[in-house]
A = this chain, B = another copy of it.
Amino acid sequence: MPDMAEQKATNIVWHQGAVTREDRELLNGHKGCTVWLTGLSGSGKSTIAVALEKLLLDKGVRAFILDGDNVRHGLNKNLGFSPEDRTENIRRIGEVAKLFTNAGVVTLTAFISPYRADRDQVREVMDAGDFVEVHVHAPLEVCEQRDVKGLYKKARAGEIKEFTGISAPYEAPEKAELMIDTSALSVEQSAQTIFDHLAKAGLLPA
C-alpha cells in the first residue's frame, strides 16, 4: 500500500499527464465547437442539423446533435415551459454543449431558444470562438405553412399557450455568426453554408 507521500506524488505525475482538449482535438483532426441553431418552429433547425451532421461525418468530423428528442425526454424531463423553466432548459443545454465542445465534438443544438438573454448566457459560459450562433430564419408565414408537426394550427386554435411567434415572442439574434434563410436556400445549401463557415474559421480539417 502506498504511503501518503507516494500517493501524492503519484497524483501529481498523473495529473501532469492528464489529457487536454488539445490532445483530443489532435486525435480527432478537428476542433470542438458548438453550432447553436435558433429560430422559429418549422424554420428548419432540426432538418439542417441532421444534414450538417451527415456532411461532417462524411468528412470524418465527429458531430453530435442535442435536440428536443434527446434532451427534453432525458436531462430536462423535469422542466416545463414556464419562463424560468425555459431559461433553465437553455442553461443546461448550454452547459452540456460546453462539455461536448471540450470533448472535441462539433456540437449541434436545435432548439427554438427564443430569448436573446438565454442565448447570450450560453455564449458567455463558452470560450471565445467556441460558440457559433446560427439564426435559422424563415418568415413566420412560411413556417406556419410548413407546420410539419401541426403545432401552428393548435397554437392558432388556442390549444397551445405561449407558442413562439404566435403568442410568445421570438427575439431574433443581433450578432449571430450566420443567418440562414430557409425560404431561399435548400436544406443541402443551408448545411453546406454552415459547413463552409466552420471550415473557414479553421475548425475543420483543411
Q: Chain A interface (Cβ within 8 Å of chain B)?
A: 1-2, 4, 7-8, 10-11, 14-15, 17-19, 23-24, 27-28, 47, 50-51, 53-54, 57, 60, 62-64, 66, 70, 74-75, 78, 88, 92, 95-96, 98-100, 102-105, 125, 142, 145-146, 148, 183-184, 186-187
B74 and A24 contact, CB distance less than 8 A: no
B11 and A47 contact, CB distance less than 8 A: yes
A74 and B99 contact, CB distance less than 8 A: yes
In the complex formed, the residue of B with least CB distance to A76 is B95
Closest Cβ–Cβ distance, residue A187 to chain B (whole Å): 5
Between A and B, 11 residue pairs with Cβ closer than 8 Å are: A11-B187, A14-B54, A19-B50, A19-B57, A62-B103, A64-B99, A64-B103, A74-B99, A92-B92, A96-B99, A105-B105
